Amino acid sequence: MNCQVVLQNQTQVKLQLDKNKRVFVIGDLDADLAKFEQALKSVNFDKNHDVLFSLGDVIDRGNDSVKLLQRFIELGVYMSLGNHEHMLLESLLAHDEAYFSLWVKNGGRWHIDASDDELEFVCNYLRKRPLSYLLDYQGVKIGLSHTVSHNWNWLVPSKNKQFAVSALLWERTIAKQKIVEDNLSVDFSIHGHNTTQRAYWLGNTYHIDTNYLGGKPTIVELEPLINQYKAF
C-alpha cells in the first residue's frame, strides 16, 4: 500500500542505554489502559528509574487510545509506530480512503466519538514517533519495531521509505513461514504484530504480541532476555 504521511517519520532512532537501568519492552496494547497498568504493576515499574519501550499498536479495538498515549507521555515511554498508528495517520491527515476503510474495519471506529482536540493530539504525537529503535544496552545490540522483514539491515536501514514502512509496520513473512535464520545485523530483535498466545523466538527475533489471543500484553525486561538469548 502506498503511504504519504508516515514517510516523514524517522526510520530508526539509535539509543545507548545506561547498563544499570532496568529496561522493558511491551507488546501490542490494543487501547486497553487497565491491562497496561496491570503490566506495569507486574514488574514494579518505576518511571523515575526504569525505561519502557512500546512496539506500537497502542491504539484501536479498545476504548483508551487517547488515554494510553497521554499516559505514555507521563511515563516517558519510547514508542515506535505500528500498522494501526499508520492507518490512523494516513486516514486523518492524508484523507486516504483505502486506509480509512481498512482502519475502521480493524478497530478505528473510536475516532468517531473523539473530540477534534483529542484527534489533533493523537496525530501530533504519532507523527513524531519513529518506525524503529536500535539499542546499545549492556554491550548488546537490540532492534525494536512493530514487525520486521527477514532481510532488514539494522545497521544500515534502507533509505527507501516505502520499503521501510512495509518491512517495519506490516510484514508477516517471518512469523507465517517460521523463518529461523538469524539476522546478523543485531544480536536480536523484539516485535509485536503477529498474534500469539505465548512469546516465542524465531531465529534471533522475539515475538510478543500476546494481548489479542493471550488475554494480556507481554512486558519483558531486557537483561533477563539477554541472558536467555546468550544461553541458547
Residue 182 is part of a domain; what is its CATH number? 3.60.21.10
Q: Are 164 and 157 in contact (CB under 8 A)?
A: yes
Q: Beta strands of 38-155 (E only): which ranges?
A: 51-54, 78-79, 132-137, 140-145
Query: In the chain, pLDDT over 90 holds for what percent of residues?
Result: 94
Amino acid at 173: T
Does the pLDDT of residue 227 top 70, yes or no? yes
Range(s) of the domain holding residue 61: 5-230
Give the mean pLDDT of 197-224: 94
Q: Are 17 and 136 in contact (CB under 8 A)?
A: yes
Give the mean pLDDT of 13-39: 98
Give the mean pLDDT of 190-216: 94
| Domain total of the chain | 1
What is the predicted pLDDT for the residue at 1? 63
What is the C-alpha to C-alpha distance for residues 33 and 39, in angstroms, rounded to an integer?
Answer: 10
Does the pLDDT of residue 178 top 70, yes or no? yes
Q: Are 144 and 25 in contact (CB under 8 A)?
A: yes
